[in-house]
A and B are shown apart, each in its own frame.
Chain A
Amino acid sequence: MTEHEPNRVPEATPREMAAVDAVVGPELNGAAPAAAARRMRVQLQRPYRRDLLLPALLALQQAEGWISPGGLAYLAQRLALPLAEAYGVASFYGLLALEPEPPTVLHVCDDVACQTAGAMELCQTLERVLGPAGSAPESSEVGWHRSPCLGRCAEGPAVYVQRLGAAGGGARWDAAQTAEEWLQAVATGMAVTSAVPIRRRPGLPQPLTGRIGRIPPDSLDAYRRHGGYQALRRALALGREGVLREIAAARLVGRGGAGFPTAAKWEAVAKSPEPVRYLVVNADESEPGTFKDRALLEGDPFAIVEGATIAAWVIGAHRVYVFVRGEYPEARRSLEAAIAQARAHGYLGATIMDEPYPLEIEVRSGAGAYICGEETALFNAIEGKRGEPRNKPPFPTVHGLFGKPTVVNNVETIANVPVVLNLGAAAYRDLGSAGGSGTRLFCVSGQVMAPGLVEVPIGTPLKEVVAIAGGLRPGRELRAVLLGGAAGTFVGPEAWDMALDPEVVRARGATLGSGVVVVFDDTADLGAIVRRIARFFREESCGQCVPCRLGTVRQLELVERLEAGRPLGSLEQERALHRDLVQVMRDASICGLGQTAANAVASALALGLVGEGSRGQ
């Protein structure tokens, strides 16, 4: 008979236990612990709160700098969750380390926009000073990793810093300092990022960004003095049906990328027979090149609170979840401060203004996974599961968060809600063009003089938008523009005059997506950019379905072969292979990530941006 040692249960540190307890709360969760049950001779089931898993994992990460076996075991026990499942969830998210890390960890963006802003040079410097990415021993003070886009594209090269025992935050590379000086400043929390630059052109209406940078974002009074909460008042006066009519008449469509009519979504949930409904505000802004939601959340958070309040009231939701990207702690703090003030002044809680309507807004953080921007993956993340998208149908309006009817709106969409109500549907429509109502936010980055956020009427030409961001550098020629981010498409100089109107853009086989405009001039190493996009999907695919999990790997291998000038067989064979990959990913992937993961590479191949001749001057 073989004797086995009893399973060794690793122990949590006091800091880990305190971090978990702070999230889970003193109330027993899951099954009562054995000792208590033994004493009581009965065991009562407690409410099962798996949805606290991700917040508790983030708390563990902050407490000890990694998710240790002991910490995870304690957490799993508190949530009555199988340890292997908790591990499966923890291992899904990029900001959760499963091995010990130094006290300060830098996530250095080497994605498309930051590559044009010196990210590669920064990486080389760090490699020299700290060693290769991900190699730091636990004993060193600072470690670093390469990161996908951090949503700080106008401030690149961007860095996100995780600090032991403290909240994370953005940091900005300062070329004026030595690497050592800069690292010292980062470690002590001195090298903080600035706000998103807003690029304005006098005379253009800016209903979404007008307040940003002009009023203190943490002041409810200032918000009210600048038109805040007029829209909620108007909404309550109009009634739910009235608001729905107004939003429908304004032809407001979602700004997250899919462009679905907002009123239709709201109406489906408002009319559901199911009494429990949710509003989810998607602030998991992770599309490479996108930083608009961060600008809104950091710069005008009350507008999001007000918009979410109106939306929740109309659809009959009493709880709103705002899922904020894990790399945006500043945005989270700003939003939470606004929620607290709104609550203290009767805009949330038991009433919304004068209306007795219980409403809470809860902010949840992501933990480093692009896929969680997909709405059903986002539900799973909130529910404490791996951020794997669900098959649709059923759609969220029927079977959404916690299985209940749910409206998911992007931050920019929610920001448009007060605008519609303040202006009225007609005036709102007039802001835009035939291609759509209202304004749109464009995140202009790359090789332009003044990268930043640009708000323009829908239908403004690309050339104009880039001009507001300072235009090309003197003496440089336009080589290509990446529209819509990694899931978008490259367009060449011939698109310079194209109106940024969803219909027009779609007709040219491109997409506006989340409003990304990354500009590359004739000095850009576009091969490297395309390779980075291919790597992005290889690393951000959730891995659930075969076309995406393996298609993204084969796509990256193909791009690398072409970049190295070593195709398998003929170039035409490689192109045929890519066409097959495009087709299977587009046709057979579960979600939008897989379905669009080959678009940018396909457009780059078509424009000759990969391989021979792709390198700039």
Chain B
Amino acid sequence: MNRGVSVAARPVTVTVDGQAVEVPEGSTVREACAKAGVEIPTLCFLENLTPVNVCRVCVVELEGSRALVPSCSRKVEGGMVIHTDTPRVRTSRKMVLELLASSVDLSAAGPEVAEWLAAYGAEPERYGRRAPARTARPDLGEAATVAQPPKVDNALYVRDYSRCILCYKCVEACGEDAQFTFAIAVAGRGFDAHISTEFDVPLPDSACVYCGNCVGVCPTGALMFKSEFDLRQAGAWDPARQTVTPTICPYCGVGCTLELHVQDNRIVKVTSPLDHTVSHGHLCVKGRFGFEFVQDRDPGG
């Protein structure tokens, strides 16, 4: 068997917003759009994970298709005619963003999310007053939300599922796309679906090995370094005062690149570049969280 030796893929021509582009067979619609210079918003897609196409923010209109299609996972076929900015596309994106914003706390999501909400004209307040806590039956006139207290059950990272949009990225990173630890899974169904350990046991009783790869892929701050969480609680979290410096992990000899996020001369979180061939954005517990020792010393003593 000759795995891994890539055979040059045949080129396929598709049309994106009236512009013909050629991409290799097997490319996704999203990749074709990128080739045409059209950026597609997405919440659940990440380069180092298998597309799960659940957020539906990235839908586009495909001529001949009854429903819109998710551009992150749909493969191109020759002659496809793709429209990325039709009224149907805009309505779907607006609604998806609006539905999420009406039920989830997006305040710690990346700045692009707020930009999309504005750009697509989302009106999350039109569903009524936000229910203050997750409940099976909110009061009449209240909009159900996933509001709940954050889970602080270990010293390394915090799970605040009131910020969770259920993009599945953490489950993928914990499972088959990187870590193969499978400490968490999607549990429950429908609006009650949530990310959970078995029987919702605290992380220290679960299979979690604290690699933090779930934290690394979370788009909304639902999973957060304890250091970031504490600074935010104290009102001291300030990205404007932060620097990001790439360096190499000080532990074993694999050579993972660490991006040290530093605020006020303290490491406040650690990430890894998605596109590096060594780590593909993933780290182990020591690389991700084992930095405390450098800021925990008294060289005189």
Contacts and interface: CB of A to CB of B under 8 A. Distances in A.
A124 interface: no
Contacts of B187: 87-88, 91-92
A583 B190 contact: no
A554 B141 contact: no
Interface in B16-56: 53-56
Contacts of A86: 198
A367 to B, nearest CB: 11
B54 A544 contact: yes
A7 B205 contact: yes
B67 A589 contact: yes
Interface string A1-24: 010100110000000000000000
Nearest to B69: A391
Given A83-B207, A84-B207, A586 B67 contact: yes
| Contact-size category for B | 35 or more
B128 A543 contact: no
A532 interface: no
A430 interface: no
A58 B96 CA distance: 36
A201 interface: no
A84 B184 contact: yes
Contact of A541 (B95, B191, B205): B191
Nearest to A584: B95
Interface in A555-609: 557, 560-561, 564, 566, 568-569, 573, 577, 580-581, 583-584, 586-590, 595
Nearest to A89: B185
Contacts, number: 172
A85 interface: yes
Contacts of B193: 542-544, 549
Q: In this complex, which of A98, A391, A581 has the most chain B Cβ atoms within 10 angstroms of its Cβ?
A: A391
A595 to B, nearest CB: 6
Contacts of A543: 166, 186, 188-193
Contacts of A541: 189-191
B199 A546 contact: no
A584 B88 CA distance: 8
A544 B70 CA distance: 14
A551 B67 contact: no
B196 A84 contact: yes
B129 to A, nearest CB: 9
A514 B20 CA distance: 43
A87 B196 contact: yes
A83 B198 contact: yes
Interface of A: 2, 4, 7-8, 69, 72-73, 82-89, 91-92, 98, 369, 386, 391, 393, 538-547, 549-554, 557, 560-561, 564, 566, 568-569, 573, 577, 580-581, 583-584, 586-590, 595
Interface of B: 53-57, 59, 67-68, 70, 73-75, 88, 91-92, 95-96, 99-100, 102-103, 126-128, 138, 140-144, 155, 165-166, 175, 181-193, 196-199, 204-207
Given A83-B198, A88-B186, A538-B191, 17 more contacts: A7-B206, A8-B205, A82-B185, A539-B190, A543-B188, A543-B192, A544-B193, A545-B53, A546-B57, A553-B144, A553-B191, A557-B144, A569-B126, A584-B95, A588-B59, A590-B54, A595-B67
